[in-house]
Chain A
């Protein structure tokens, strides 16, 4: 089940998606069997995240607004990276800047560490006051990716969105600017209201929808890109079992990322791997 993209060989095609497996310090036995893990988004400064509630269940899905709670890159390097460096799989750190300068700082802080690569978070819907996601503009994607590529030789993944944009355009921009793979579809925009209080339920007001509810759309996006561009895609969106993995690969994904499924069962990666091997 080995997969090779550029200079990296993955022991199997299964990754644990950013935001669904913490910083990579828990369930080490599971992580070590996976093709790789992508950490929760790391920002320049520590972030405390959005008010509660941060998660609700929707039909076949989950709506979240965690808001990038993380210790900030300095503390991450000091306290978490030494634990991650003992893992026996590929580690990708998801970096979330709010400006190009922040992306540059994050790249400089992490570009020389022992990790396998960086996932450039261009599509987190849960940051307040952000008018647009960088991944909604091919120009902005090019600008950010080029700035990062100039400063590191690490394996780079662009985490794109399918919210209000054709991901084919942003995937092309990302690849042309030097990433090694694109990852999509991240979560879809969502909001839910409490009909009694007449207010939004999530503390962050809006959130990101994930889970099996978005799987057909995720598959469509990957297939749609693959029709025009032969590029390495990390596909994700509602993977709950081995058949889902096979569907994503049929759609054109080279690797897949388990997201919401990890919250339902932290051992799901192992279970899927076993199903694929049998």
Chain B
């Protein structure tokens, strides 16, 4: 059940120049969260920031949820100024959970801050599946939680755009479809920039045995299916709501060009 909760900030750390980790005490939401879901955070209770902002949930315990976010605009900039012991009004859990998977070989592909939702996905799926993580970022500093991810994923392929760690280049270039086929990898979860997802779509178009799930983002109004402001066009031309039909979609069912702004 979706609820609003006044969540106290337990910790708020700057991980890199632009990336922050926000730990919130939100038991009413935390007890319900499933991997794939997100929350909407009200940045301020004045009217300078009218709309809540959507954030993926990266970690979840009995009482707490962790958000990992990049400062990209005025809302996230304002959020980054919030201090421990302050409270934030949050709405959640929102969106649908990922499918329940067992005894499968699963690839995860994270580009940059896309690691946030995939971290929770990995921690859930690792219990009953074999995971292969492909993770790329701009620089070594932005490759986050490597020790935790190593413990969850049997195989880790890392890349940085500047070559400061792992392979040099975009992570999507190192996804090897022949290897997927050989290893019988059946499912893929990907989260990252739209460009990465587009490259992925091209790469996987002749590989129907693999089900590719992608996390999509869009400007949102309400986050809970009331306003019809977020959406992605399907191959049939209709819009699906990212907030309530997603945020996870089958890559082959959606037109990524409809998300270009």
Query: Nearest chain A CB to B78's CB is how many angstroms away?
Result: 12
Residues of B within 8 A of A213 (CB): 47
Main secondary structure of the interface of A (DSSP, over half): loop
Q: Which one of B9-17, B133-141, B215-223 is at the interface?
A: B215-223
Q: Which one of B30-38, B57-65, B158-166, B227-235 is at the interface?
A: B227-235
A240 to B228, CA, bound (A): 20
Interface string of A53-82 (1 = CB under 8 A from B): 111111111101010010000000000000
Q: Which of B42, B47, B233 contacts A60 (CB 8 A)?
A: B47
CB pair B219–A69 under 8 Å, yes or no, is no
CB pair B4–A267 under 8 Å, yes or no, is yes
Residues of B within 8 A of A190 (CB): none
Q: Which chain A residues numbered 1 to 51 have a C-beta less than 8 Å away from chain B?
A: 19-22, 26-27, 40, 48-49, 51
Main secondary structure of the interface of B (DSSP, over half): loop
Asked if A262 is an interface residue, CB under 8 A from chain B, the answer is yes
A212 to B46, CA, bound (A): 11
Contacts A263-B51, A263-B221, A264-B42; is A54 near B228 (CB within 8 Å)? Answer: yes
Residues of B within 8 A of A230 (CB): none
Interface range on chain B (Cβ under 8 Å from partner) = 20 to 34
Asked if A266 is an interface residue, CB under 8 A from chain B, the answer is yes
Interface string of A236-270 (1 = CB under 8 A from B): 00001000000000000000000010111111000
Asked if A211 is an interface residue, CB under 8 A from chain B, the answer is yes
CB pair A264–B226 under 8 Å, yes or no, is no
Asked if A52 is an interface residue, CB under 8 A from chain B, the answer is yes
CB pair A62–B237 under 8 Å, yes or no, is no
Residues of B within 8 A of A56 (CB): 219
A27 to B223, CA, bound (A): 13
Contacts A55-B221, A64-B221, A263-B221; is A49 near B51 (CB within 8 Å)? Answer: no
Asked if B178 is an interface residue, CB under 8 A from chain A, the answer is no
Q: Which of A48, A49, A52, A262 contacts B222 (CB 8 A)?
A: A262
Residues of A within 8 A of B48 (CB): 59-60
A64 to B222, CA, bound (A): 12
A267 to B239, CA, bound (A): 26
CB pair B51–A62 under 8 Å, yes or no, is yes
Query: Nearest chain B CB to A139's CB is how many angstroms away?
Result: 32
**CB closest chain-B residue, reference A261:** B50
Contacts A264-B51, A266-B91; is A21 near B231 (CB within 8 Å)? Answer: no
| Count of chain A residues near B, Cβ 8 A | 35
Q: Which of A58, A62, A69, A211 contacts B228 (CB 8 A)?
A: A69
Point out which of B218, B226, B233, B259 has the most chain A C-beta atoms below 10 A from its C-beta: B226
Residues of B within 8 A of A40 (CB): 228
Asked if B224 is an interface residue, CB under 8 A from chain A, the answer is yes
Query: Nearest chain A CB to B141's CB is how many angstroms away?
Result: 27
A211 to B221, CA, bound (A): 12
Query: Nearest chain A CB to B85's CB is how many angstroms away?
Result: 23
Contacts A49-B231, A264-B42, A265-B4; is A55 near B225 (CB within 8 Å)? Answer: no
Residues of A within 8 A of B151 (CB): none
Residues of A within 8 A of B2 (CB): 27, 266
CB pair A263–B226 under 8 Å, yes or no, is yes
Residues of A within 8 A of B229 (CB): 53-55, 64, 66, 263
Point out which of A22, A26, A55, A56 has the most chain B C-beta atoms below 10 A from its C-beta: A55
CB pair B224–A26 under 8 Å, yes or no, is yes
Asked if B202 is an interface residue, CB under 8 A from chain A, the answer is no
**CB closest chain-A residue, reference B49:** A57
CB pair B239–A263 under 8 Å, yes or no, is no
Residues of B within 8 A of A48 (CB): 233, 237-239
A55 to B53, CA, bound (A): 12
**CB closest chain-A residue, reference B46:** A60
A53 to B231, CA, bound (A): 9
**CB closest chain-B residue, reference A26:** B225
CB pair B221–A53 under 8 Å, yes or no, is no
Residues of A within 8 A of B4 (CB): 265, 267
Other A-B pairs beyond A48-B238, A61-B47, A264-B50, 18, CB < 8 Å:
A22-B225, A22-B228, A27-B2, A49-B228, A51-B258, A52-B218, A52-B258, A53-B218, A54-B231, A55-B51, A56-B219, A57-B50, A59-B47, A60-B47, A69-B231, A69-B239, A211-B47, A264-B222
Chain A to chain B contacts (Cβ below 8 Å), 30 pairs = A19-B228, A21-B226, A26-B224, A26-B226, A26-B244, A27-B224, A48-B237, A51-B258, A52-B219, A52-B259, A52-B261, A53-B261, A54-B221, A54-B229, A55-B51, A55-B219, A57-B51, A58-B50, A60-B47, A60-B48, A69-B231, A212-B47, A262-B227, A263-B226, A264-B42, A264-B50, A265-B4, A265-B91, A266-B2, A266-B226
Write the residues of chain B forming the contact surface with A, with a CB cutoff of 8 angstroms. 2, 4, 42, 47-52, 89, 91, 218-222, 224-231, 233, 237-239, 244, 258-259, 261
